[in-house]
């Protein structure tokens, strides 16, 4: 991945604090993404994930540093970078159709009404809201609202999708369907996707790389977990992959314990914010100082499952079963 399609370079964000000073959400943050890549970011609530996403979207300016997209520093929001908002952000005075068509009309300003409605309808159908076109957001459930948000974002066929917990309000079944759809669309259209999630399984199913963020304030990107799953994966048997539990447990370990004391963990090591350590759980550390932008084509499929079983005893699995139930 020599191609750095998106590159966050030394970005900081500070908010004025109550007492006149300022709180630093994060500082000197570096991350790059390749074209067509799907990156998930995981971290505890309030660590600054939405802030990173807003900066990528161009909705917020970083206090320092820059975001480069396609060799150009971004200066504001763009139709190429579509956002699925954490809070749905539907326009309550418009119907479902109105909301999606508004986005379509913003992208294709001279499209005639017929084409416009067809394009909107296509994506309303896709998210399974056929029949609810003329409802107002207030008449929809939380999950339905989120699906309208997803339809609105997909309908403008962006180059980059920035998703802020897009599936968090959905029931398991709908979530599965939409994950499949979003994944399919991303693959088919060569979409580059950046997604915030709290769901480890979702991250492993969708992402090529999972970025782990420590607790704020002064959050840092602790590690980048390379997903060993092949690009061709099926929802029903991702968990049969020999390295699946390795990855999963690694991320959960991070969230449960390491995210709090990461600074102590890193003290004295050669941790470098600019080259966040890349790890492939279940296998020996790849390289702690390896640049995040380097390629990793085969995710380690060649490694034997035995090694994984040895690394992660079966006793750690019941928690998984519980989680999925």
Partner 1 sequence: MAVTWRAALVSLLLFGTFIGVWHLATRGGGPVASMDPEYAKLVGATASQGKSAMPGPADVGLKIWQHLKDPFYDRGSNDKGLGIQLAYSIARVMIGYLIAVAVAIPVGFLIGMSPLMSRALDPFIQVLKPISPLAWMPLALYTIKDSSLSSIFVIFICSLWPMLINTAFGVAAVRKEWLNVARTLEVGTFRRAFTIILPAAAPTILTGMRISIGIAWLVIVAAEMLVGGTGIGYFVWNEWNNLSITNVITAILVIGVVGMVLDQVLARATKLVTFPE
CB–CB of 163/207 below 8 Å? no
DSSP code for 137: G
If contact means CB under 5 to 8 A according to the sort of partner, which of partner 1, Mg ion, ligand ATP, none does residue 142 touch?
none
Nearest CA to 31 out of 61, 60, 65 is that of: 65
- The footprint of ligand ATP (CB under 6 A) covers 15, 25, 43, 45-51, 86, 216
Size of interface with partner 1, in residues (CB under 8 A): 24
Return the residue matching tokens 């092949």.
230
- Beta-carbon neighbour count of residue 135 at 10 Å? 15
Query: Nearest distance from residue 48's CB to partner 1, in Å?
Result: 18
Collapsing DSSP to helix, strand or coil, 185 comes out as helix
**DSSP strand pairing (6-16 vs 64-69):** antiparallel
**Exposed, middle or buried by CB within 10 Å (0-12, 13-18, 19+), for 268?**
exposed
Within 44-63, which residues bind partner 1 (CB under 8 A)? 57-59
Q: Which residue has the tokens 């790849």?
A: 286
Q: How far is the CB of 216 from ligand ATP (least distance, A)?
A: 5
By CB under 8 A, residue 93 contacts partner 1: yes
Binders of partner 1 among residues 144 to 183 (CB under 8 A) are: 156
**Smaller CB separation from partner 1, 77 or 291:** 77
- Which is nearer to ligand ATP, 216 or 300 (by Cβ)? 216
Chosen residue from 14, 35, 135, 136 binding partner 1 by CB under 8 A:
136
Interface positions with partner 1 (CB under 8 A): 57-59, 76-79, 81-83, 85, 87, 89, 91-93, 102-103, 106-107, 136-138, 156
């Amino acid at each position: 991945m020599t191609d750095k399609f998106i590159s966050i370079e030394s970005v900081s964000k500070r908010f004025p604090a109550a007492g006149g000073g300022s709180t630093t959400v994060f500082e000197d943050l570096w991350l790059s993404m390749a074209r067509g890549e799907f990156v998930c970011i995981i971290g505890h609530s309030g660590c600054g994930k939405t802030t990173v996403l807003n900066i990528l979207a161009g909705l917020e300016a970083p206090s320092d540093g820059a975001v480069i997209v396609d060799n150009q520093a971004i200066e504001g929001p763009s139709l190429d970078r579509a956002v699925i908002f954490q809070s749905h952000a539907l326009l309550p005075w418009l119907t479902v159709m109105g909301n999606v068509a508004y986005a379509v009309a913003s992208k294709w300003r001279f499209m005639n009404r017929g084409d416009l409605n067809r394009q909107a309808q296509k994506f309303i159908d896709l998210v399974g809201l056929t029949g609810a076109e003329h409802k107002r957001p207030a008449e929809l459930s939380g999950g339905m609202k989120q699906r309208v948000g997803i339809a609105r974002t997909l309908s403008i066929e962006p180059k980059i999708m920035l998703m802020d917990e897009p599936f968090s309000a959905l029931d398991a079944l709908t979530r599965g369907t939409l994950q499949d759809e979003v994944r399919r669309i991303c693959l088919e259209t060569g979409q580059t996707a950046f997604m915030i999630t709290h769901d480890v399984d979702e991250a492993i199913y969708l992402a090529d790389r999972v970025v782990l963020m420590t607790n704020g304030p002064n959050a840092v990107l602790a590690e980048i977990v390379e997903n060993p799953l092949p690009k061709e994966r099926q929802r029903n048997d991702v968990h049969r992959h020999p390295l699946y539990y390795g990855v999963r447990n690694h991320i959960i370990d991070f969230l449960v314990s390491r995210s709090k004391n990461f600074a102590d963990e890193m003290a004295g090591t050669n941790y470098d914010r600019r080259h966040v350590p890349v790890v492939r759980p279940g296998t020996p550390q790849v390289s702690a100082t390896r640049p995040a932008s380097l390629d990793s084509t085969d995710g380690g499929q060649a490694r034997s499952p035995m090694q994984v079983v040895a690394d992660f005893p079966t006793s750690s699995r019941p928690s998984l079963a519980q989680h999925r139930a």
